[in-house]
């Protein structure tokens, strides 16, 4: 028995030299913890910043140098920050066969900019045309190319990954999977745009959408949201493969030359005839903008008055870009306005290229087109007048369309005139609300991610999270705050009589963001590597011939996170890893659970009444808990004499324990922290009681390396045992100490009675 009441604490290990085995073990454990950090390793080339072309600004050189080092990365740089020059310099420095994939008409613009840094870029439409090392083509033509002939690929305006259909996106990702170097360039995405992040991460080979969701997000009534404890790690992870920059100052550089000119947005409001619109669309009366149907009805019925007003505004000598949403809108504008050029989706590639290039070069005064055709990538600083003939509810399309002209390098104030009817005020207000939310969330994201980006760029160093230890001793117990792998080393070998505990169940960032938290493992292999380090110490401290009781449950999978609905055999894996650690698999108990309560709590498809009627092939029984019993080899020197009679043993000897109330636990809310995604789930007290009374004697020392809020210690003290508990999380540690003291009071009161 370990002396817990001497007041001197458990013996601390001596200071060791580097060549001592325990020192090497500690260093090895720290190396493992470092490997758990969710950052993307570099797979590129190191290039000194002095070799980056002098035409680039200092902040652009810094970003190019970083992208070269990463090998596969994304530059989320706002419009006008020079993404084209940066991607061209990236290709020039690599010096390998490179394919740039760009939106329509951006290709010729890219070819011209390449001349600024002495790079020859060839525009091609088919592979047989290739004669240069760096070539550029359009997204519409990618099926003509075999990506195996390229060592590097660049996606210009890579946000197109979100707008193309699923098959095209998947095909593009698959085609580029074996390309060694990959670079994505687009404007700063919305912080809550999970599709944007997931598409880029998958294209770059960082992770799949399912892996990203599993690591960092949780799905609830509001949809997918970032886990509370995952925020820090998500931002650090993002910074290890993507740079998000709205201004040079975001990464520590001056904003000289990057202050945008004034933006003047002046909606033009027209009065519409609601009764006339209703009659034109076969309605008894106009019922408002009810969904897409109502919006489309208003838009089609008001083309005439909008075009008439647009023609008046366009009757000057200035250049204008006019954004339309319907073909009829664009065609009527083109008819009514001299010097205009119309670009439609059905036009030939040659016409689109000539029209868009001609507008930028000043050969056409008014460009009339859709945001889906020319709303991304093009530099239109030649123009400072923007018109929308009607609007959709898409803030991204609206924002990107304005930023074609309102971008760094624009010398004049930019004037924007959305032409709307009074019936469409709801759409305008919706866009204003989205704009405000977007600006707030982007600012919040940059506040969090900036420090990690500067660390990734080598400009700052962020101190590692502080790991703290503490110890509280009471009458018959010791609670140790800290990492169980390390704090178990302080316990003498062959000194623990019995251990009962419930390990983490493979849940990333549910209870903490610490790398020392075993639940914070990205996959089963990493979890059990960590768990086995604990098992080795647990095996050492348990007395020969004595037992360990480990509480587990099977882990359900979900379609969104894992790609399939089923179970992961966590129980079987714990058994095998414990055997590998040297323990003997001694037995197990199944603990009965209420399937209806599980169905209400988890909404599991496999337990729902609706599924019984729909398709019972998906049904499965509710999930039981298990107590797995392991014995350390060797002779037990002190026989265990349980204080139970034969009738009790007959009940407890059953392979299934019935009647244990799921609510028979300590108060879980005491240890909950604000970012926690789940309430801590303490083991039922009656389950712990049975384990302690069966496999230990009064006066024995009971150990829990995952003490949580102290449930195992609470029962140990009530049953005249001594207890050692280890807990990583400070909130749970504090709650555990309170619960252990409560047990002492309860026990003394019982004696008085």
Three-state SS string over 57-116 comes to CHHHHHHHHHHHHHCEEEEEECCCCCHHHHHHHHHHHHCCCEEEEECCCHHHHHHHHHHH
**What is the rounded CA–CA span in Å between residue 451 and residue 662?**
45
| Residue in the structure block whose two tokens are 């996606």 | 155
pLDDT-based confidence at residue 12 (cuts at 50, 70, 90): very low
Q: Which residues lie closer than 8 Å to 354 by C-beta, 6 or more apart?
A: none
Reduced to 3 states (helix: H, G, I; strand: E, B; else coil), residue 224 is strand
Mean pLDDT of 683-694: 96
By the 8 A CB rule, do 339 and 363 touch?
no
Lowest mean pLDDT among 277-281, 351-355, 403-407, 584-588: 277-281
Q: What is the pLDDT of residue 10?
A: 35
Using the structure block, give the residue that is written with the tokens 């209420």.
Answer: 594
Q: What is the mean pLDDT of residues 439-453?
A: 81
Is residue 103 pLDDT above 80, yes or no? yes
In the 8-state DSSP scheme, what is residue 248?
A: G
Q: Which of 113-117, 367-371, 444-448, 722-726 has the lowest mean pLDDT?
A: 444-448
**Mean pLDDT of all residues in 461-471:** 84
**What phi, psi does 371 have (nearest 5°)?**
-65, -30
Which residues are paired to 685 by β-bridges? none
pLDDT value of residue 667:
82
Higher pLDDT, 316 or 159: 316
Rounded to whole angstroms, how far apart are CA atoms 314 and 335? 12
CA distances from 311 to 147, 200, 398 (A): 47, 41, 21
pLDDT at 646 > cutoff 70:
yes
| CB-neighbour burial class of residue 266 (10 A; exposed 0-12, middle 13-18, buried 19+) | exposed
Residue 753 pLDDT exceeds 60: no
pLDDT digits (tens, 9 = 90+) for 308-355: 999 999 999 999 999 999 999 999 999 999 999 999 989 998 899 899
In this predicted structure, the answer to whether residue 100 has a pLDDT above a threshold of 80 is: yes
Cβ-contact 158, 180 below 8 angstroms: no
Element holding 714 (H helix, E strand): helix 711-718
Q: Is residue 389 pLDDT above 90, yes or no?
A: yes
**Residue 727 structure tokens:** 């807990």
What percentage of the chain has pLDDT greater than the value 90? 58
3-state secondary structure of 682: coil
Query: In the 8-state DSSP scheme, what is residue 693?
Result: H
Reported confidence tier of residue 532, pLDDT bands at 50, 70, 90: very high
By the 8 A CB rule, do 621 and 595 touch?
yes
Higher pLDDT, 280 or 530: 530
Residue 432: the pLDDT is 92
- The mean per-residue pLDDT over the stretch 710-735 comes to 96
Cα-based torsion angle of the residue sequence 105, 110, 115, 116 in order, rounded to the nearest 10 degrees = 120
3 state SS of 68: helix
**Average pLDDT of span 582-594:** 95
Is residue 715 scored above 70 in pLDDT? yes
Alpha-helical segments (H) within 285-424:
291-301, 303-313, 327-336, 349-361, 371-374, 395-403
pLDDT tens track for 243-294: 999 899 999 999 988 888 999 999 999 987 766 666 666 555 555 666 677 7
Among 9-18, 83-92, 127-136, 390-399, the minimum mean pLDDT is found in 9-18
DSSP H helical ranges for 206-248: 209-216, 231-239
Average pLDDT, rounded, for the chain = 88
Cβ atoms within 10 Å of 251's Cβ, excluding its own: 20
- Kindly indicate the confidence band of residue 126, based on its pLDDT and cuts at 50, 70 and 90: very high
**pTM of this prediction exceeds 0.95:** no
At 15 the pLDDT is 39
Q: Which domains does the chain have, with CATH numbers?
A: 21-36+465-752 (3.40.50.150), 49-251 (3.40.50.10810), 263-452 (3.40.50.300)
Q: Is the pLDDT of residue 235 over 50?
A: yes
**303: β partners:** none
What gap in Å lies between CA 709 and CA 731, rounded to an integer? 8
The 3-class secondary structure across 432-460, one letter per residue, is HHHHHHHHHHHHHHHHHHHHHHHHHCCCC
Strands 340-342 and 701-704: unpaired
pLDDT in tens, 57-72: 999 999 999 999 999 9
**Mean local confidence (pLDDT), 470-492:** 97
pLDDT at site 191:
61
Question: How far is Cα 62 from Cα 59, in angstroms, rounded to an integer?
Answer: 5
Higher per-residue confidence, 509 vs 405: 405
Q: What is the DSSP letter of 358?
A: H
- Find the DSSP H helices in 337-477: 349-361, 371-374, 395-403, 425-456
Whether the CB-CB separation of 123 and 136 falls below 8 Å is answered with: yes
CB 418 within 8 A of CB 397: no
């Amino acid at each position: 028995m370990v002396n817990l009441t001497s007041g001197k604490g458990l013996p601390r290990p001596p200071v060791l030299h580097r060549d001592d085995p325990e020192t090497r073990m500690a260093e090895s454990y720290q190396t493992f913890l470092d490997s758990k950090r969710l950052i993307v390793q570099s797979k590129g080339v190191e290039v000194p910043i002095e070799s980056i072309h002098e035409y680039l600004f200092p902040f652009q050189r810094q970003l190019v140098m970083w992208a070269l080092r990463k090998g596969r990365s994304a530059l989320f740089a706002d419009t006008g920050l020079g993404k084209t020059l940066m991607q061209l310099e990236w290709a020039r420095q690599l010096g390998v066969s490179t394919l740039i994939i760009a939106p329509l008409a951006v290709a010729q613009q890219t070819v011209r900019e390449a001349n600024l840094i002495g790079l020859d870029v060839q525009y091609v439409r088919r592979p047989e045309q290739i004669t240069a090392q760096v070539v550029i083509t359009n997204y519409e033509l990618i099926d003509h190319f075999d990506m195996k002939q390229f060592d590097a690929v660049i996606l210009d305006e890579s946000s197109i990954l979100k707008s193309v259909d699923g098959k095209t996106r998947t095909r593009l990702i698959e085609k580029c999977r074996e390309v060694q170097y990959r670079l994505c360039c687009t404007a700063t995405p919305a912080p809550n745009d999970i599709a944007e992040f997931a598409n880029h991460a998958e294209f770059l080979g960082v992770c799949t959408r399912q892996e990203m969701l599993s690591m960092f997000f949780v799905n609830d009534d509001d949809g997918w949201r970032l886990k509370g404890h995952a925020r820090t790690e998500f931002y650090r992870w993002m910074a290890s493969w993507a740079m998000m920059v709205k201004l040079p100052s975001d990464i520590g550089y001056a904003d000289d030359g990057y202050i945008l000119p004034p933006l003047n947005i002046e909606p033009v409001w027209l009065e519409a005839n609601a009764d006339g619109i209703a009659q034109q669309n076969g309605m008894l009366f106009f019922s408002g903008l009810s969904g897409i149907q109502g919006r489309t009805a208003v838009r089609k019925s008001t083309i005439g008055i909008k075009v008439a007003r647009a023609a008046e505004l366009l009757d000057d000598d200035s250049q204008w870009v006019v954004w339309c949403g319907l073909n009829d809108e664009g065609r009527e504008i083109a008819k009514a306005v001299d010097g205009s050029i119309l670009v439609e989706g059905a036009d030939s590639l040659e016409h689109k290229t000539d029209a868009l290039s001609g507008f930028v070069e000043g050969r056409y005064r008014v460009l009339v087109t859709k945001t889906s055709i020319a709303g991304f990538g093009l530099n239109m600083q030649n123009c400072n007048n923007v018109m929308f003939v009607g609007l959709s509810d898409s803030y991204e399309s609206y924002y990107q369309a304005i930023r074609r002209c309102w971008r760094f390098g624009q010398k004049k104030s930019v004037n924007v005139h959305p032409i709307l009817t009074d019936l469409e005020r709801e759409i305008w207000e919706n866009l204003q609300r989205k704009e405000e939310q977007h600006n707030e969330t982007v600012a919040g994201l940059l506040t969090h991610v900036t420090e990690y980006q500067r660390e990734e760029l080598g400009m700052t160093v962020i101190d590692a999270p502080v790991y703290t230890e503490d110890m509280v001793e009471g009458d018959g117990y010791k609670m140790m705050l800290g990492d169980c792998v390390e704090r178990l080393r302080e316990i003498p070998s062959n000194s623990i009589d019995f251990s009962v505990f419930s390990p983490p169940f493979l849940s990333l960032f549910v209870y903490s963001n610490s790398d020392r938290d075993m639940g914070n493992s990205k996959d089963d292999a990493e979890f059990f590597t960590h768990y086995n380090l604990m098992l080795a110490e647990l095996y050492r401290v348990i007395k020969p011939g004595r037992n360990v009781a480990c509480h587990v449950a099977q882990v359900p999978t979900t379609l969104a996170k894992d790609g399939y609905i089923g179970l992961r055999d966590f129980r079987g894996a714990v058994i095998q890893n414990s055997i590998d650690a040297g323990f003997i698999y001694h037995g197990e108990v199944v603990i009965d659970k209420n399937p209806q309560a599980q169905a209400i709590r988890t909404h599991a498809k496999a337990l729902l009444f609706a599924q019984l009627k729909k398709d019972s092939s998906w049904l499965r029984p509710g999930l039981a808990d298990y107590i797995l019993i392991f014995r350390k080899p060797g002779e037990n020197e002190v026989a265990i004499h349980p204080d139970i009679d034969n009738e009790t043993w007959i009940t407890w000897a059953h392979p299934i324990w019935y009647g244990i109330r799921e609510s028979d636990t300590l108060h879980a809310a005491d240890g909950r922290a604000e970012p926690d995604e789940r309430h801590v789930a303490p083991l039922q007290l009656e389950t712990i009681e049975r384990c302690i009374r069966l496999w230990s004697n009064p006066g024995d020392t009971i150990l829990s390396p995952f003490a949580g809020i102290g449930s195992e210690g609470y029962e140990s003290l009530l049953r005249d045992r001594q207890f050692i508990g280890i807990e990583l999380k400070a909130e749970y540690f504090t709650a555990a100490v309170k619960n252990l003291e409560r047990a002492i009071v309860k026990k003394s009161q019982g004696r008085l009675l």
